[in-house]
Amino acid sequence: MTQTTENVEHSDTFLRVKRGLQEFQQRRLLHAYEDLRSNPEYDQIGKFFFEELYAPEDFSFRDKSIKKLRKVLSGAVYKGMLNAVSMVIELHELSDRLDDQMVEKMLEKDIDENMTMDQYKMVYRLLDNYDERIYQIKLSVDVNRVFHRLSKKWIVGVSLKTVRAASHMLGVGEIMDFVNRGYEAFRKIDNIDEFVNIIETREIEWHDKIWKEGEALIQE
């Protein structure tokens, strides 16, 4: 009997391969942006981007209802913060869905968590989702820009101090802790244009490169 996608997603094998995929992707990011991570100016923002946004783990806050968050925090925090959180949740849901699709295709091709780069490229291309991948890159850049803008507003800092303690009691503490870490990372940088422009340019170049190389591997 063929397993349904839902059953596969909850299997030990699926989860093991997914974790391997996420670790593979994070290693690639850490290597590709070693220059940014070693720049003292980008120390905190680099940790937030590479370790908070793309860490190979489950982000429990992505499953929180944004409606609940809005209900709990409406009127208590600067409204721009809620929009930022919505973008973060969208980014994680999109990334998680794309990872699931990768894992499904890997299992279909008998590829496990010890995949090679060529196997990764082939699976990446087989999914045939060019526009979604570009949107994922653009969204990650937009998230960084939004957090940076918010970090320059004094009212955001006041709002965070006001609601952080209460947010844990109301079940949205992890989200607010995440927002606070982003606020702290970004507020120390005056201009993030170079940081986000480098990321956007390199990620699109990487995407286009493995798209073409993956196509060649499929045709072999």
pLDDT beyond 50 at 130? yes
Identify the residue with better confidence: 151 or 6: 151
The confidence score (pLDDT) of residue 71 equals 66
Number of Cβ within a 10 Å radius of residue 148: 22
CA distances from 169 to 67, 101, 179 (A): 17, 35, 17
pLDDT band at 6 (very low <50, low <70, confident <90, very high): very low
CA distance 57 to 50: 12
What letter would DSSP give residue 192? -
Instruction: Determine contact, residues 160/76, Cβ cutoff 8 Å.
Output: no
Number of Cβ within a 10 Å radius of residue 48: 20
CA distance 207 to 204: 5
Q: What is the pLDDT of residues 188-200, one digit of tens each?
A: 888 999 999 999 9
What letter would DSSP give residue 190? S
CA distance 79 to 73: 9
pLDDT beyond 90 at 111? yes
The confidence score (pLDDT) of residue 75 equals 63
pLDDT beyond 90 at 129? yes
Amino acid at 193: D
Number of Cβ within a 10 Å radius of residue 185: 22
Q: What is the pLDDT of residues 15-72, one digit of tens each?
A: 999 999 999 998 999 899 999 989 998 888 888 888 777 666 555 555 555 566 666 6
Mean pLDDT, rounded, of the chain = 83
pLDDT beyond 60 at 217? yes
Among residues of the chain, what percentage have pLDDT more than 90? 42
What letter would DSSP give residue 64? S
What is the C-alpha R_g of the chain?
A: 19
The confidence score (pLDDT) of residue 44 equals 85
Number of Cβ within a 10 Å radius of residue 144: 22
Residue 58: partners with Cβ closer than 8 Å, 6 or more residues away: none
Identify the residue with better confidence: 3 or 148: 148
pLDDT beyond 60 at 155? yes
What residue ranges in 5-162 does DSSP mark as E strands?
Answer: none
pLDDT band at 1 (very low <50, low <70, confident <90, very high): very low
What's the pTM value of the predicted model, to 2 decimals?
0.83
CA 107 remoteness from chain centre: 23
The confidence score (pLDDT) of residue 209 equals 96
pLDDT beyond 60 at 165? yes
Residue appearing with tokens 């045939």: 128
Instruction: Determine contact, residues 113/57, Cβ cutoff 8 Å.
Output: no
Q: What is the pLDDT of residues 66-104, one digit of tens each?
A: 566 666 666 666 677 777 777 877 888 898 899 999 999
Which of the given ranges, 71-75, 133-137, 175-179, has the highest pLDDT on average? 133-137
